[in-house]
Structure 1
Amino acid sequence: MLDFSLVKKYIPFLLEASVTTLEIAILSLILGLVLGIIIVVMKISKFKPLSLFADFYIWTLRGTPLLVQLFLVYFGLPQIGIELSPFVASVCALGINAGAYIAEILRGGILSIPKGQMEAAQSLGLSYPTIMRRIILPQALRVSIPAIGNESITLLKDSSLASLVTVSELMMTSQRFASTNYAFIEFYITAAIFYLFMTTIFTFVLRKVEFRMSMSER
């Protein structure tokens, strides 16, 4: 017999854990955006070593499991003298992984921009970095918002992997209370509801951002 009254007294702890989950997701997204922009600029660069490095980065990060990457950051780096806290290791692993996907998203956005804009800017004497910073990348970001939004929701859900390196986020906290009270269905359903609520908020905010960006373009 299910008894959700068991969950009630643990709601404050689950809310606190949800804040940690959001912090991981948001910080990972910021890191992923920064890395994604850097990697896509390298990928489209005419300097071959940079483009090859970007290709290798994207190929490696997209072709290996996120869990393996997280374990490499948290358990592997201490072997070479780099020790990170579970929280920082989780943000780094998720952000580095997201950077590969966001780079490909942005590359698609850049390819959707007419080549004439680049040629027109060059004819005005603008340098390549200036063209990218002021003309190409802002437009690429605008058209890539829906896909980046999907990636942010994926990051939010993937943050549950941080529980495997002892981060007290929503999944780990739910699992601990479920084991203590032998109420696995109740706590896991509650955790699913919390995740659903957070992803719904993310979706709502991103749609607002997309709407504002589309309005500013008109």
Structure 2
Amino acid sequence: MGVRLNPFTVAVIGFTLNVAAYNAAYLTTAFNGLDKTQLEAARAQGFEPSQVFRLITLPQVLRTSVPALTNQVIGNLKDSSITFLIQYTEFFARMQELASTNFQFFKAYLLTALVYLLLVSIIVLVARMIERRVLIPIN
């Protein structure tokens, strides 16, 4: 077809399409879990469709999908190492190159694992803060 893209562009497009598909599924599932009587009550009260979406639907969908979206972010972080298949040298591939120059594979892979663990831990802590912030109290 004659289309030439650099590896970074291909990685961004691929991850964007993948993330969009999974996130759409998570948000659709959260939307389907909404109590439809709330939406009907809002319309009966005279809310415009945009107000129903902005004030009732969207906040509840985002609240209930935080755990699934967090898992998706962590999965994307782990999946980023696949980009070496399209000749994009990311963090893990760089660590492999470093290890192959000095033959200290254990140290390089241990450092890589610690960096990934740190990044995942930060994502989990941020997600927990978001979950606590948007928690719906049960009476």
Same fold (TM > 0.5):
yes
Specify every segment of 5 or more residues in structure 1 that has no aligned partner in the other structure, as ranges: 1-78
SS at match of 1:125: coil
In the superposition, the TM-score normalised over structure 1's length comes to 0.57
The yes-or-no answer on 1:114 pairing with 2:32 is: no
C-alpha contact (below 8 Å) 1:160/1:171 kept by paired residues: yes
Supply the distance in 2 between the matched residues of 1:136 and 1:201 (Cα, whole angstroms): 29
Number of the residue aligned with 2:93: 172
Supply the distance in 1 between the matched residues of 2:81 and 2:114 (Cα, whole angstroms): 14
Supply the distance in 2 between the matched residues of 1:86 and 1:114 (Cα, whole angstroms): 44
Tell me the alpha carbon deviations over residues 32-89 of structure 1, each in whole angstroms, 9 at most, x when there is no partner: xxxxxxxxxxxxxxxxxxxxxxxxxxxxxxxxxxxxxxxxxxxxxxx353x4332232
The yes-or-no answer on 1:210 pairing with 2:131 is: yes
Supply the distance in 2 between the matched residues of 1:86 and 1:210 (Cα, whole angstroms): 35
The yes-or-no answer on 1:197 pairing with 2:124 is: no
Letter paired with 1:139: Q
Number of the residue aligned with 1:143: 64
Supply the distance in 2 between the matched residues of 1:210 and 1:105 (Cα, whole angstroms): 16
Query: Aligned pair in 2 of structure 1 residues 120, 80: CA closer, same or farther (>3 Å)?
Result: farther
C-alpha contact (below 8 Å) 1:105/1:148 kept by paired residues: yes
Instruction: Give matches, 1:59-208, under 5 Å.
Output: 79=1, 81=3, 83-208=4-129
Number of the residue aligned with 1:41: none
Specify every segment of 5 or more residues in structure 2 that has no aligned partner in the other structure, as ranges: none
Q: How many residues align?
A: 137
Query: Aligned pair in 2 of structure 1 residues 119, 80: CA closer, same or farther (>3 Å)?
Result: farther
SS at match of 1:89: helix
Q: Percent identity?
A: 36
Supply the distance in 1 between the matched residues of 2:22 and 2:113 (Cα, whole angstroms): 25
In the superposition, the TM-score normalised over structure 2's length comes to 0.86
Number of the residue aligned with 1:30: none
Query: Aligned pair in 2 of structure 1 residues 80, 128: CA closer, same or farther (>3 Å)?
Result: farther
